Amino acid sequence: MAGFLVHAFLLQLIGIAILAAASDTRALLSLKNGVGDPSRSLESWNASTPSCQWQGVLCSLHGRVASLSLQNSELRGSFPIEFLTRCSGLRRLDLSQNQISGSISGASFGDGGCESLQWLDLSGNDLAGAIPPELLTASPASSCVGEQLQGIVPPALGNCTNLTIALLSYNNLHGAIPPDISRLQNLWWLSLSSNRLTGKIPPSLGELQTIVVLQLGNNSLEGDVPLELSKCKNLIMLDLSANQLTGTVPSRMELTSLIVLTLSYNNLTGGIPGELSSMQNLYKLDLAHNFLAGPIPESVGQLKNVQVLDLSENFLSGRIPDSIAGLTFLFNFNVSYNRLSGMIPQKGQLTTFQSSSFEGNPGLYGFPLSNIRPRDSPALSVEEHHSDDGYREELLAGVPCFIISFLVATTATILLTRASQVQKVLSLRR
């Protein structure tokens, strides 16, 4: 009796699997019939071939459609809402870089929909509408990518505790960044750049222990740069550029893993903290287009790996530190349009940049700018005296050499002319 029950149970499971696979096939065919396919990417989708062998389809061991990847397939038409309501076993859906249009607001991701979905990429289409809350409540997604989305960033995003990647840049999202995002303890890439977000950066983002890339640039965020971000010890890229941030550049951001720090195009004031030199892995430091004042710290020269250093369009004063000339990997340097003065250090990498890197500083001089020291430039330092004196000595040493050469050449010309005349006179007398 027990054996019969086990056998019946197995048959029931097989029957359920067959019915589910048949449902997946019908869902795929409904998708094919609902979109335009000018490049015939879905040509293999027909009843004569098992759906697990169709282009872009991957199935699980149970024969269920687990992954559908149709990126860059030139598909056209409305978003396949009906397909999503019937894809209960789908874990990965990639429809990026097509020409799919319409709204995803009516899509059902729960209650029989895509409750197993872990990866969703809809970028590069013509979609619109708000992010469906059901997607964030019902789906254990690990990645969420979308473009041309509207509405707010849903607080329910914090429910996707398996989320590792959230790329929501270049949309029309507005409102504040929900503090609930701090619950995403598996998140390592968050991009909300190029939206219309407002309000302050939540200090709770510092609780994202696994975050590696944080991009919040090109919004209308305000307030200070949260010092709590210094707790994100795995952070390698922090982009807060093109916002309305105020306050100072935090001096205690001990992010030793940071490779890119971009705070440009904000309203930051104060000086450049010398403590930034602790970020020994920095490749790019961009503080341009702010209201920073004071000298450039000598400790900037300790950023031995920096390749891009942009401090332009601020109110920095004083001299360019000699230590910067020792940054051997530096290939992009810009301190233009500040209030810097004195002689540009004539050594190292600083001799390789064009005048555009230094222009807009009336008190600066020396190659590649004019070698004439402006009247309002401060007195030279000891090192600059030696450099300037050396330049003058070379110039003065060249003057007598030129005079002597000129006299020798003139005398030789006169003598040769006189010799020619004497020879002519002697030939006439003969």
Interval 270-295: pLDDT, tens? 999 999 999 999 999 999 999 999 99
Q: Which residue, 246, 262, 288, sits at the end of a domain?
A: 288
Burial class (CB in 10 A: 0-12, 13-18, 19+), 380: middle
Say which residue the tokens 């041309």 belong to. Answer: 148
Task: Answer yes or no: is 345 within a domain.
Answer: yes
> 246 versus 406: which is more confidently predicted?
246
Distances (CA, A) of 215 to 170, 278, 303: 12, 22, 23
Read off the amino acid at residue 192: L
Q: What is the CATH number of the domain that holds 310?
A: 3.80.10.10
Q: How far apart are CA 160 and CA 27, in angstroms?
A: 26
Closest CA to 235 of 263, 261, 271, 274: 261
Q: Which region among 88-92, 240-244, 335-339, 374-378 has the lowest average model confidence (pLDDT)?
A: 374-378
Contact 300, 323 (CB under 8 A): yes
Closest CA to 250 of 265, 238, 236, 259: 238
- The parent domain of residue 114 ranges over 14-288
Contact 259, 284 (CB under 8 A): yes
> 378 versus 416: which is more confidently predicted?
378
Q: Are residues 260 and 347 in the same domain?
A: no
Helix (H) or strand (E) holding 214: strand 213-215
pTM of the model: 0.74
Q: Are residues 72 and 119 in the same domain?
A: yes
The whole-number pLDDT of residue 423 equals 47
Counted domains in the chain: 2
Task: Answer yes or no: is 6 within a domain.
Answer: no
49-71 pLDDT tens trace: 888 999 999 998 878 888 999 99
Handedness of CA 393, 396, 401, 402 (dihedral sign): positive
146-164 pLDDT tens trace: 656 778 888 878 877 778 8
The answer on pLDDT for 419 being more than 60 is: no
Peptide bond into 368 cis (omega under 30): yes
331-383 pLDDT tens trace: 999 999 999 999 999 999 999 999 999 999 999 999 999 877 776 555 544 44
Helices (H), 191-287: none
The whole-number pLDDT of residue 370 equals 83
pLDDT band at 30 (very low <50, low <70, confident <90, very high): confident
By residue count, the chain amounts to 430
Contact 312, 286 (CB under 8 A): no
Task: Answer yes or no: is 7 within a domain.
Answer: no
